[in-house]
Amino acid sequence: EEEAVYRDRRVTSITLTVLDDESTVLFAGSPLGTNLDSIFRIPGGSSAGPNQVISRRGLDKGDTYNAVGSISTASPDSLRAAGTDYPGWITDYYLQLPESLPDRVRQFAADAAAGAQNPYDIAVALESLLRTFPYDLTVTAAPPGTDTVEHFLFTEQRGYFDFHASAMTVLLRTQGVPAQIVVGYAVDPEDLNPDGSYTVRKDDAYAWVEAFFPGYGWIVFNPTPDRPAGDANEGAGGSILDGFTPSDLGPEPSLEEIFDELGGFGDLPSDVSGPLTESPVVAPDPFPWWIVWTIAAVMAAIAALAMSGSLAYTWGTRGMPVHQRHWARIQRVGRWAGLSPGPEETAREWSARVGSTVDRPGEASTLARAYEAERYGRRETRTPGEDETNAYRALRNRLFKRVVRRRERVENDENDLFA
């Protein structure tokens, strides 16, 4: 079968200097490659390509690296004609929705998209409607048992980028348009330094939406009204790189020229230097599992596992807000324990499943509520209370015990197989 090539995309090459300890590698557009020894995270174990790239050793203040990405330059008319012949690895993951999604959320999307004849016009209609919801940092979290998107659309009807982007992603999926939330940083023209560089701070964090179009890849939309809407003519969209236009990026190089100039890209797969195609690069395992499994095989005691595995457990979570950090770590050890969150599961649904599995339902529920309050509630620093801290530790320890027991079962099965 002939490999399909993404049309109307432009290669971007940027150089970044780290101002604070960090592990996430940043790109202008969709990730292609970097000269760092990196891990390409693939969502849900699917073949849909990387949605995050992290440095294996982390990044320290003063580190400099190069990153190669791609942005779309497709016109609206081209995207209108793109059709709906989506690859299976796109529909398998990027149309997932929770079973508990309220019917009126689906109806909201259908009403907003009425009259749209193609996925691009559906996306523009939803984007335009959500941009009428005011930008507001003082919104409150959805009450227990209430769907977050439903609460945003019908009760609050205001919020910031997390709310707008989450809502648009869900609404697009209800209409059969593959979509994802993208989290990164936004730069403004006034951020340009005298030397031609940009300084990006954590306060510049932002979220937007990308919809997939056959033959063109991921296209940016921005449903939050504090920044310009996504613009197909500008490829990267106003929401991501307000200060950039394609001409700012200089003459377009080939990927081979970039790789040669930057001195190679370590252990990245060789086909990353080929054309931009719908067949995604097979990336390394999204986490150094050998750290955990080696420790588990050598040390039976959970205390030894927890202590020696601290690097693996905390990898990439330092610097997160406290409840989001706890949640990320609980999800990580949950995956090791065979309890990976499904793409359709909300935080509360996953916490209920995990809590019942390891007999810690109250602790899991407490953590989920704290995570949602911090993620979707008022944008302020939150200090965990004693109940939340105790819940985190209790659930963490119970999950680590399950990791060890799970590994022991695997080893016993292997011994039986080769006996």
pLDDT of residue 48: 54
How many CA atoms does the CB half-sphere of 260 hold within 13 Å?
5
Domain boundaries for CATH 3.10.620.30 within the chain:
72-249
Q: How far apart are CA 377 and CA 379, in angstroms?
A: 6
Structure tokens at 75: 């016109």
Phi then psi for 17, rounded to 5 degrees? Answer: -115, 130
pLDDT of residue 13: 82
Per the CB < 8 A criterion, the answer to whether 94 and 180 are in contact is yes
Nearest residue to 56 via CA among 28, 83, 78, 35: 35
Q: What is the mean pLDDT of the chain?
A: 73
pLDDT band at 150 (very low <50, low <70, confident <90, very high): very high
pLDDT of residue 262: 38
Per the CB < 8 A criterion, the answer to whether 237 and 222 are in contact is yes
The top-scoring range by mean pLDDT among 15-19, 66-70, 92-96 is: 92-96
pLDDT band at 369 (very low <50, low <70, confident <90, very high): confident
pLDDT of residue 384: 57
pLDDT of residue 307: 34
What average pLDDT does this structure show over 120-126? 98
pLDDT beyond 50 at 377: yes
pLDDT of residue 56: 82
| 86-95, 140-149, 158-167, 243-252: segment of lowest average pLDDT | 243-252
Q: How far apart are CA 279 and CA 396, in angstroms?
A: 37
The top-scoring range by mean pLDDT among 119-133, 200-214, 311-325, 403-417 is: 119-133
pLDDT of residue 259: 38
pLDDT beyond 70 at 383: no
pLDDT band at 378 (very low <50, low <70, confident <90, very high): low
Helices (H), 262-385: 289-298, 302-308, 310-314, 322-336, 347-357, 361-376
The top-scoring range by mean pLDDT among 41-55, 109-123, 313-327 is: 109-123
What average pLDDT does this structure show over 398-418? 58
Structure tokens at 34: 């970097």
Distances (CA, A) of 324 to 178, 267, 292, 369: 26, 31, 22, 11
What average pLDDT does this structure show over 199-214? 85
How far apart, in Å, do the first and last CA atoms of the chain sit?
44
| 90-104, 209-223, 288-302, 338-352: segment of lowest average pLDDT | 288-302
pLDDT of residue 41: 73
pLDDT band at 243 (very low <50, low <70, confident <90, very high): very low
Nearest residue to 220 via CA among 242, 251, 189: 242
Q: Give me the residues paired with residue 5 across strands.
A: 277
* Comparison of pLDDT for 10 and 159, the residue scoring more: 159
Q: Model confidence over 305-324: pLDDT tens digits? A: 333 344 344 444 555 678 88
Per the CB < 8 A criterion, the answer to whether 294 and 279 are in contact is no
pLDDT of residue 397: 84
Q: What percent of the chain has pLDDT over 70?
A: 68
- Give the total residue count for the chain: 419
Q: How far apart are CA 228 and CA 240, in angstroms?
A: 9
pLDDT of residue 305: 33
Q: How would you list the strands of the sheet with 52-59, edge to edge?
A: 22-24, 52-59, 38-41
pLDDT of residue 298: 28
pLDDT of residue 205: 79
The top-scoring range by mean pLDDT among 99-103, 168-172, 194-198, 350-354 is: 168-172
What average pLDDT does this structure show over 394-398? 87
- How would you classify the pairing of strands 30-34 and 22-24? unpaired
Q: Model confidence over 9-34: pLDDT tens digits? A: 888 788 888 887 777 888 888 888 88
Identify the CATH assignment for 72-249 out of 3.10.620.30, 3.30.310.80, 3.20.20.70, 1.10.357.10. 3.10.620.30
Q: Model confidence over 249-307: pLDDT tens digits? A: 334 434 344 334 333 333 333 333 333 333 333 333 332 223 233 222 222 223 333 33
pLDDT band at 234 (very low <50, low <70, confident <90, very high): very low
- Collapsing DSSP to helix, strand or coil, 222 comes out as coil
pLDDT beyond 60 at 349: yes
- Collapsing DSSP to helix, strand or coil, 163 comes out as helix
The sign one gets for the Cα dihedral 255, 229, 225, 212 is negative
